[in-house]
């Protein structure tokens, strides 16, 4: 099996697409994972580490109502983060991560290891709820890998590189 970053890079390069990321619980781990690969500047624009809700609101446009109704760790929050990141960077695809990495912060409704990931393109959006186990570092690593897989799925769902779709 090829590396998830390598597979994503291949798909992005075939389309001439650019990627941006919005991260909360991973604190820059996704951007670091992407830029560990030489040549990533050909397809990676950058990212926003939106750890605080005010940053999610101000930088990514997450509506206050999302926090009030669903919370920062929710599917609507992840989807709004991805959509806001796509707009802010003018990217072709954006992926976001929000969750509870631990060791504290979990509740019965939102336990440690709960992570929401979303990927948005100009024409579609995918999101998923994940429940990871392990310590803080493990949850964060798993979240990064899941985000790479979801970004790849979103790019592939957009169609063939030769289709001309943006």
Q: Is 111 part of a structural domain of the chain?
A: yes
- The answer to whether residue 45 is domain-embedded is yes
Report how far residue 133's alpha carbon sits from residue 150's, in angstroms, rounded to the nearest whole number: 19
Tell me the angle at which helices 53-60 and 75-89 cross, rounded to the nearest 10 degrees: 40
| Segments forming the whole domain that contains residue 120 | 4-157
Evaluate whether residue 80 is within a structural domain. yes
Q: Give the whole-angstrom CA distance, residue 62 versus residue 84.
A: 7
Among 122, 118, 102, which Cα is nearest to 110's? 102
Q: With respect to residue 103, please indicate whether it lies within any of the assigned structural domains.
A: yes
Q: CATH number of the domain that 151 lies in?
A: 3.90.950.20
| Residue 84 included in any domain | yes
Residue 163 lies in a domain: no
Q: What's the pTM value of the predicted model, to 2 decimals?
A: 0.94
pLDDT along the chain (166 residues), means of 10: 88 97 98 96 98 98 98 98 98 98 96 98 96 98 98 91 49
Determine phi and psi for 126, rounding to 5 degrees: -120, 145
pLDDT at 166: 42
């Amino acid at each position: 099996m090829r590396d998830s970053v390598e597979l994503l890079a291949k798909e992005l390069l075939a389309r001439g697409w650019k990627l941006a990321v919005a991260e909360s619980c991973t604190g820059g781990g996704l951007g670091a994972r992407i830029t560990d690969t030489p040549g990533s500047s050909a397809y990676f624009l950058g990212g926003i580490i939106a750890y605080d809700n005010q940053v999610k609101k101000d930088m990514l446009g997450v509506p206050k109502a999302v926090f009030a109704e669903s919370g920062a760790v929710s599917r609507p929050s992840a989807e709004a983060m991805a959509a806001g990141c796509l707009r802010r960077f003018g990217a072709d695809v954006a992926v976001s991560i929000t969750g509870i990495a631990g060791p504290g912060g979990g509740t019965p409704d939102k336990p440690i290891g709960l992570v929401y990931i979303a990927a948005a393109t100009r024409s579609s959006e995918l999101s998923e709820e994940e429940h990871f186990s392990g310590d803080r570092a493990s949850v964060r690593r798993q979240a990064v890998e899941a985000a790479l897989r979801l970004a790849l799925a979103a790019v592939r769902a957009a169609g063939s590189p030769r289709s001309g779709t943006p």
